[in-house]
């Protein structure tokens, strides 16, 4: 879920640097968008966000993620989505949303999936905007060519430190920083060969702020500011690590090393991040979001959002084919058994939407993925 804002933020960033509209590729990569019959959905809202989890496997040993261990929630015998399963989902989604809708492909490490570029090409040819999350390790020159030729619109790299030592430590993989920088070079080299601009294939980075690397975040911003090819650095704050829990006291018990212990450091770092953003740094997070991160570290038990949740307009396809609006609720069906259109407009989905709107669970998905500025609360009037 941490990729939710990539399209909007990069478009906002484009406006900030004077590119109001996305330019056409000098040499078109995708074919013309085929006509798709749009279906009327009388009961429901239109999806606003889509995430497809293509796998769960990863070979990094990140401090804040345990995907490298056997999955606690998905049995080893569980049937994983095939190429045709995901294409069925994408085609069904396209009948409900218009061209330009963003699909985010996430994992695990997405590039472990052999049909990844086939899926991106299929989505692109149907008119979708596409984003891919990756650690960058597997992007050789050949993979870079295949990636760009697939029509992918943007890639979001995990970057958790301003130096090789910090990034490699956070990612649990020696050499990962250098491999990531090399991956970017491989992509840019082919972009230049194909005369593809930086806003046509967009390279962005994302960092997870933890107690282990919070002190390095201002330097990470400066690193990205000085990097000619990384368009932005977005921040997420650490949540209970993937493939662990659930334990509401994880930040005080099982994984307390991930939690910033000194409030003075939290304030100092976020003051500096906010000042850098105001000065024009490549930070797409809104000011109210950065303040929310600060407050989250001060008091994670406080409900992060007083208004209704908007995950009722989200759709997530799991690696086993289950379709979820929110992972805290039951799925609305499996793509092998029911089409996306039928599932999205079903009575079961409608019931779950109502439950989501009424939900008062202190869900930390909101802090990173679906936070919306709330007005006119007095204490937030100065946060824009």
Q: What is the pLDDT along the chain (384 residues), one digit of tens a residue?
A: 334 444 444 444 444 433 333 434 434 344 455 656 665 554 568 999 999 999 999 999 999 998 888 888 888 889 999 999 999 999 999 999 999 999 999 999 999 999 999 999 999 999 999 999 999 999 999 999 999 999 999 999 999 999 999 999 999 999 999 999 999 999 999 999 999 999 999 999 999 999 999 999 999 999 999 999 999 999 999 998 888 888 889 999 989 999 999 999 999 999 999 999 999 999 999 999 999 999 999 999 886 666 667 889 999 999 999 999 998 899 999 999 999 999 999 999 999 999 998 887 777 777 887 567 765 443 433 323
Contact of 275 with 225, CB cutoff 8 Å: no
C-alpha span between 107 and 100 (Å, rounded): 22
pLDDT of residue 148: 98
Render the burial of 327-349: b for 16+ CB within 10 Å, e for the rest.
Answer: bbbebbbbbeebbbbebbbbeeb
C-alpha span between 17 and 296 (Å, rounded): 30
Q: Is the dihedral of CA 272, 274, 278, 282 positive or negative?
A: positive
Neighbours of 61 (CB within 10 A): 13
Peptide bond before residue 218 is cis, with ω within 30 degrees of 0: no
Distances (CA, A) of 188 to 139, 148, 179: 12, 10, 14
Distances (CA, A) of 172 to 14, 57, 159, 164, 281: 33, 15, 12, 11, 28
Contact of 155 with 187, CB cutoff 8 Å: yes
Cβ-based burial of 381 (10 A; exposed 0-12, middle 13-18, buried ≥19): exposed
Q: Which residue has the tokens 């000085």?
A: 226
């Amino acid at each position: 879920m941490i990729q939710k804002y990539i399209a909007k933020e990069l478009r906002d960033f484009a406006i900030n640097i004077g590119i109001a509209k996305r330019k056409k590729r000098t040499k078109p990569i995708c074919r013309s968008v085929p006509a798709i019959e749009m279906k009327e959905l009388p009961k429901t809202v239109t999806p606003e966000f889509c995430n497809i989890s293509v796998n769960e496997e990863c070979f990094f040993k990140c401090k804040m993620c345990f995907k490298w261990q056997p999955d606690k929630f998905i049995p080893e015998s569980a049937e994983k989505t095939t190429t045709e399963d995901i294409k069925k989902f994408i085609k069904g989604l396209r009948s409900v949303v218009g061209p330009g809708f963003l699909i985010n492909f996430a994992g695990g490490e997405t590039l472990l999936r052999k049909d990844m570029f086939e899926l991106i090409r299929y989505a692109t040819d149907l008119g979708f905007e596409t984003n891919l999350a990756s650690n960058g390790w597997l992007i050789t020159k050949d993979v870079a060519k295949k990636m760009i030729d697939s029509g992918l619109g943007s890639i979001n790299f995990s970057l958790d430190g301003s130096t090789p030592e910090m990034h490699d430590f956070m990612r649990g993989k020696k050499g990962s920083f250098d491999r990531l920088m090399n991956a970017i070079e491989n992509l840019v080299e082919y972009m230049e060969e194909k005369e593809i601009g930086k806003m046509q294939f967009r390279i962005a980075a994302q960092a997870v702020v933890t107690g282990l690397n919070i002190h390095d975040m201002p330097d990470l911003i400066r690193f990205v500011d000085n990097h000619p090819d990384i368009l932005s650095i977005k921040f997420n704050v650490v949540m209970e690590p993937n493939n662990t829990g659930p334990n509401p006291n994880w930040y005080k018990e099982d994984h307390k090393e991930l939690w910033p212990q000194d409030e003075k450091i939290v304030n100092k770092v976020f003051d500096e991040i906010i000042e850098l953003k105001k000065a024009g740094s490549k930070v797409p997070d809104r000011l109210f979001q950065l303040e929310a991160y600060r407050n989250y570290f001060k008091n994670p038990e406080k409900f992060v959002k007083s208004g209704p949740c908007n995950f009722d307009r989200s759709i997530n396809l799991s690696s086993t084919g289950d379709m979820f609006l929110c992972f805290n609720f039951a799925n609305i069906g499996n793509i092998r058994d029911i089409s996306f259109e039928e599932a999205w407009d079903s009575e079961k989905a409608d019931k779950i939407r109502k439950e989501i709107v009424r939900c008062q669970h202190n869900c930390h998905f909101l802090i990173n993925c679906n936070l919306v500025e709330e007005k006119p609360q007095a204490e937030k009037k100065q946060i824009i």
